[in-house]
Amino acid sequence: MKTPLWFPQSFFSRTLWLVLIVVLFSKALTLVYLLMNEDVLVDRQYSHGVALTLRAYWAADENDREAIAEAAGLIRVVGGGVPEGEQHWPYSEIYQRQMQAELGADTEVR
């Protein structure tokens, strides 16, 4: 039986062909994985932006804090006045962990 003309004839070209197929399959799986986890990636970008805004608020002097809070929609609430946040499993837990990592362990995230 004769092999088709498009099929590689040498061992080296067959090996190269196999490596190419494996790499393309790996790229396809990576793309599917990233598309499935798009919400987590967007969530990570959002939590990073919120953390940067809070750091800017904390680092600013008293005169600038009001302008930052107004621009970002921040409301300062002490202790028991904080309302309970909604839980949207599993993203709420992921968001809380990311914010905790961004802002430090002593920050309470709700």
Q: How many domains does the chain have?
A: 2
pLDDT single digits (tens) 39-91: 666 666 777 788 888 888 888 888 888 888 888 888 777 767 666 766 666 66
The verdict on 51 and 73 lying in the same domain is yes
Domain around 32: 1-36
pTM (2 decimals)?
0.46
For residue 98, count CB atoms less than 10 angstroms from its CB and return exposed for 0-12, middle for 13-18, buried for 19 or more: buried
Asked, for residue 108, whether it belongs to a domain, the answer is no
The verdict on 44 and 94 lying in the same domain is yes
Separation CA 89–CA 74 (nearest Å):
24
